[in-house]
Amino acid sequence: MKFLDQVKIYIKAGNGGDGSPSFRREKYVEYGGPDGGDGGKGGSIVLRAEENLNTLIDYRYQQHHKAQRGENGAGQNRTGKSGDDLILKVPLGTQVFEEDNKTLIFDFNKKGEEFVAGIGGKGGLGNTRFKSSTNRAPRKFTKGATGEEFTIWLQLKTIADIGIIGLPNAGKSSLLAAITNANPKIANYRFTTLNPNLGVASYDDKEITIADIPGLVEGAHEGVGLGIQFLKHIERCKSLLHLIDITNLDLNDSYEQVKNELKNYSLKLLEKKELVVLNKIDLVDESTVKEVINHFSKDKNCEIMTMTTLEKDSISKIKAKLLSYVS
């Protein structure tokens, strides 16, 4: 499925139906009087958060959305049928912005949460409403009100328990595939992952939602590489798993490069709990692994683990540890 995390759409709530100017017309009733009914209410535009969606791609191909108009009133005081509300499903984590794409209107954080983005117009009044002791045969009626219409932006920020961060080609997609039900694209080149991938890991009868964030390079907070558009997804993750390729020549530099991008984007990202995992230990000997850990762990205020996706035991240990980071 293609991933799209920002889209501009036009919404138009339904207009209200017109009131009726009807009069009774019955045999032997010379002056039947007014019997025009009210118009029906127009349908509203309702946004609803769905847990099983993870992209806004559907709105790229259909950007105009209009709710149903209310029906007109009729004689015999019959009220017009109200228009049906138009339900637009969005992924959990979607934010709704005004046309300027800066003013936040609503933020979906709960499954099934609803937001009325455009209110349908009220139905017009039939001439029966204007009958009085001094006006027994009013011809006055009103038109239905116009439904609200707006241009809005939808922005998706992935919500996950754990966000996997690191440099390109650190093995993030391989880790996600090994510990969850996800099937991300895996290849031995930089920027294999172009979009955030989500997966669910099960361990000890508990589930953890994990997001594989595309690789961060120096200058990502300014748009370099895959840029700032994916840094925002890290904001919604409860904790971070910082994956580092142990075969890198300078692990400290690899670590600090990613941390600096988080810091320059938002200081709040540095407040999240972080688990550092040194990956690909199968490519170096055991003594080198111990030496690297001792050297790398100096002055690091975080927990450090090692792993290889080729060993089920190390994968199980990572799963067990991640549970403590979301509880």
Tokens 């938002």 map to which residue? 266
Domains, the chain, with CATH or none: 1-156 (2.70.210.12), 162-324 (3.40.50.300)
**CB of 264 within 8 A of CB of 252?**
no
204 and 247 Cβ atoms separated by less than 8 Å: no
The size of the chain, in residues, is 327
Contact between 80 and 141 (Cβ < 8 Å) = no
Tell me the average pLDDT across 106-114: 93
Q: Would you say 127 and 20 are in contact if contact means Cβ atoms under 8 Å apart?
A: yes
- pLDDT above 80: residue 137: yes
* Residue that has been written with the tokens 């994990």 in this structure: 210
Give the three-class secondary structure for 321: helix
Average of per-residue pLDDT values in the chain: 84
Predicted pLDDT of residue 117? 97
Output phi, psi for 183, to 5 deg. -130, 65
Query: For residue 184, what pLDDT band results from cuts at 50, 70 and 90?
Result: very low
Q: Which long-range contacts (CB under 8 A, 24 or more apart) does 226-232 make?
A: 226/191, 226/194, 228/265, 229/5, 229/6, 230/196, 231/261, 231/262, 231/265, 231/266, 232/157
Model confidence band, residue 156 (pLDDT cutoffs 50, 70, 90): confident
pLDDT at 227: 46
Lowest mean pLDDT among 174-183, 206-215, 220-229, 263-272: 220-229
Q: What sign does the CA torsion over 274, 279, 281, 284 have?
A: negative
Which of 93-102, 122-131, 177-186, 253-262 shows the lowest mean pLDDT across its residues? 177-186
**pLDDT digit string (tens) for 28-87?**
877 788 999 999 999 999 999 998 887 888 898 899 999 999 999 999 999 999 999 999
